[in-house]
Structure 1
């Protein structure tokens, strides 16, 4: 399934600019200028424009840095990043600055909770990703990346509980957050070499066939086989496969079960359904139950990477 039916592509391109530009980029032969022009529309039309319009005068969203989920500044910026908002957007850069200025720092690690006085690995990863995507690299980000590297566990993963309770096994949720942060930092030209840590992090997932227990081989959590958009802080098979595809990783047979999960979710009409989102506040619902442009575009993009790699 390296290609998608024309009618499905047309349906995707008729959606919000956030889906349309990513479709154009990943699933067509459009040139860079055409893709970039469509991506710019995320700022002024559709979901992206609605989120930008909700920003407070002080640069925050919902008057808060991290909570409530999912309307706080951190999670709104994470959503805008997933929509593909251009990295030079002034509103996003201001929001990113506000979050970083409001974070507590502990030996490079970060936390946004007022009542917890220690670094939080997931939050640190989120803020590194936002800084990298929205042009805020500085010595604070380098220190936070150093913290992430220090927090990598012997199994290659990361776990927020390693600081809180001494957990020594990687968490799927924390590990994908850390890997995404390191990838964004590297793409942005960060000065610290993160290739070794990133490779060990991906091997952590490969040893788990992306979503299975390394002890029993069973599915760790049924939620891993569903892929709502946005994923928020949660891991699922689509989010994991997207990371491998985004970094151009070679296909690995250990990912086949996860790829099969994505294939099986396809409906008879060639599209994928919307999965119910994670509970919490949201600015608005992007899609109603039924065929999902988000799920379809993401699935086709991942399967395109996989099928191209297996054909070589």
Structure 2
């Protein structure tokens, strides 16, 4: 208990992006207590730093998915970059920039007017070809108030026979991937929460959730063994990557939204999460994706992480408040 209290105090004494979510999701404070802290994201800390990187055209690094002028050679030398508009929007959503502010509306308008996807010059809020990218675009667009209904309709028709999604579908894949499925599920969840739910959306989310639950969030259905060592490593920022903590945090958010209790099939993943807790009550990050970033919001691989600790504690708070069914 003492270590948990110390970890929560560490989170509260942090960037507004962390502090407001700690107050809401772990301490259970009322909106009038956490909302003023959320409003600080625009003017203080990581949120303000990232907003300051916007160009005169309202974009980040001059591009939608890639920075302007970024080449294949640079990708091979540096790794995938994370500084263009798509990932900046996802970061701001994770920080909790209040979408109702003037800057939130300005982001939607200027990105819609000026950003085109690198894939085939598609308008940003109409999406491009890959399910991973489109899932995140739906999540970001729904959060900030853009019309992403066209992308949603496309995603609903792109489920694999086993219930999830895969960015390799266009190349002939007929099996879902953990990575693509979590990106799409998060997008559909945000869309339902901000634009209204429907039977079709619920059915799609249930099928994607079943894909993950049947595998206990990390196992191969065929052997019961971990699908990969990578998804058992806590990754932050998540970018397009799936890991078990990201999966658990999705089910927490979905459970809060729907008022449902944890599924019993989450138990192995919850046990894994508890096993990763450090003696001081915090969690560390195992992987920071390689590549250009505007700045880092964690101390690095192997170090105690406020993001990992926030997500882990709110998952466990939800799981312990609502016993599994």
Q: Same fold (TM over 0.5)?
A: yes
Q: Which residue of structure 2 lines up, in the alignment, with residue 303 of structure 1?
A: 316
CA distance in 1, matches of 2:225, 2:157: 30
Q: State yes or no: 1:134 paired with 2:144.
A: yes
| Residues 1:288 and 2:299 are matched in the alignment | yes
CA distance in 2, matches of 1:307, 1:192: 29
* Deviation, structure 1 residue 192: 5.3
Q: Deviations over 1:54-74 (max 9, x none)?
A: 110100001111014211000
1:189 aligns with 2:195: yes
Alpha-carbon distance change, 97 to 123 in structure 1, aligned in 2, over 3 angstroms: farther
User: Given the alignment, which residue of 178, 199, 208 partners 1:201?
Assistant: 208
1:66-105 → structure 2 map (5 Å cutoff): 66-68=65-67, 69-101=81-113
Q: Following TM superposition, by how much is the alpha carbon of 1:257 offset from its aligned partner in structure 2, in angstroms?
A: 1.6
Residues 1:270 and 2:270 are matched in the alignment = no
Shift of 1:303: 0.9
**What's the CA shift for 1:190?**
4.0
Counterpart secondary structure, 1:291: coil
1:56 equivalent in alignment to 2:68: no
- 2:213, 2:266 within 8 Å by CA — same for their partners in 1? yes
Alignment of 1:171-182 (within 5 A): 171-182=177-188
Q: Provide the rounded CA distance (Å) in 2 between the counterparts of 1:149 and 1:209.
A: 23
- Return the offset for 1:232: 0.3
Tell me the distance in 2 between the aligned counterparts of 1:92 and 1:158.
29
Give deviations 1:126-169, integer Å, cap 9, x for gaps.
Answer: 211111000113xxx22211100000112110011111x22111
Cα distance in 1, alignment partners of residues 104 and 82 from structure 2: 16
The equivalent position to 1:242 in structure 2, one of 245, 249, 255, is: 249
How far has the Cα of 1:272 moved from its partner? 1.0
Aligned-pair distance for 1:229? 2.1
Aligned to 1:108: none
Query: Which runs of no fewer than 5 residues in structure 2 stay unpaired?
Result: 68-80
- Cα separation, partners in 2 of 1:65 and 1:247, compared to 1, 3 Å: same
Note the aligned Cα RMSD (angstroms). 2.3
Is the 8 Å Cα contact of residues 6 and 281 (structure 2) preserved in structure 1? no
1:205-246 CA distance string (max 9 Å, x none): 111111111111111111111222220011111111111100
Within the candidate set 257, 263, 267, 1:252 is matched to 263
**Number of equivalences:** 301
The SS at the match of 2:179 is: helix
Between 1:67-76 and 1:178-187, the stretch displaced more is: 67-76
Show structure 1 runs of 5+ residues with no match.
105-110
Partner of 2:38: 39
> In structure 2, how many angstroms separate the alpha carbons of the residues matched to 1:132 and 1:192?
15
1:155-207 residue CA offsets vs partner (Å, 9 max, x unmatched)? 110011111x2211111111111111111111112475411111111111111
Q: Tell me the CA shift for residue 114 of structure 1.
A: 3.8
Runs of 4+ aligned structure 1 residues displaced above 6 Å come to: 115-118
> What CA distance in whole angstroms lies between the structure 1 residues aligned with 2:197 and 2:315?
29
d(CA) in 2 for partners of 1:144, 1:96: 16
